Amino acid sequence: MAQYRMLLEYDGTEYHGWQLQPDRRTLQGVLETALATALRHPVRVAASGRTDAGVHALGQVAHLDVSTNLPAEALRRRLNDELPADINILAAAQVPHRFHARHDAVARRYLYQIARRRTAFAKPFIWWVKEPLDLTRMQAAATSFVGMQDFQSFAAKDEDGGDKSTLVLVERLDVTSHGDLILITIEGSHLTGDFEAFACN
């Protein structure tokens, strides 16, 4: 049994988030189906975090345990041959069995793009705000989110009835301008609770 670390990119437009759901197309479901086809046996994949419906990834980490002697690069190519065009494995590497994509994550980074004008391109990835936006005031407001914060008001209800912490250490929140785009970058470490709790769409 070998363990592999994978780095994925995907367009989440057509998916109901990462996690397996009955009768819904999810990234984990499509990935595990492709793996079962490529390796001819069922494989379970664990990700660094669960994403919501419509969320995209530029570099999400996942890991899997498989009964194969394939080199990591051969596994990556074989898996990409089975995956749809909106999911791509960027890299794969064999790792020690103690590695866990979620538990070993030291930070997560989110990028939000806001357009200040109508655009014909990249509409699934950009939010067009018609009203005038004050970049300076947005940058000033962003500083109040940095540090240890409680994001309970952003968190979805815990259907498992658990008592998950909503405290998150936000290490960075940058608001920058790039042409007609405003880019908001949020980075935080998974110190307590689930960082995904405040990852809004």
Three-class SS state of 48: coil
Which pair of structure tokens corresponds to residue 91? 């890299």
Using CA atoms, how far residue 178 sits from 115, 116, 175, 181, in Å, is 10, 11, 10, 5
| C-alpha span between 127 and 14 (Å, rounded) | 17
Give strand pairing partners of 110.
186
Catalytic position from the list 52, 104, 160, 174: 52
Helix intervals (H) in the chain:
27-39, 72-82, 135-142
Phi, psi angle pair for 3, to nearest 5°: -115, 140
Active site residue 134: no
Phi, psi angle pair for 18, to nearest 5°: -80, -50
With 0-12 / 13-18 / 19 or more C-beta atoms within 10 angstroms meaning exposed / middle / buried, residue 118 is exposed
Which active-site residues does the annotation give?
Answer: 52
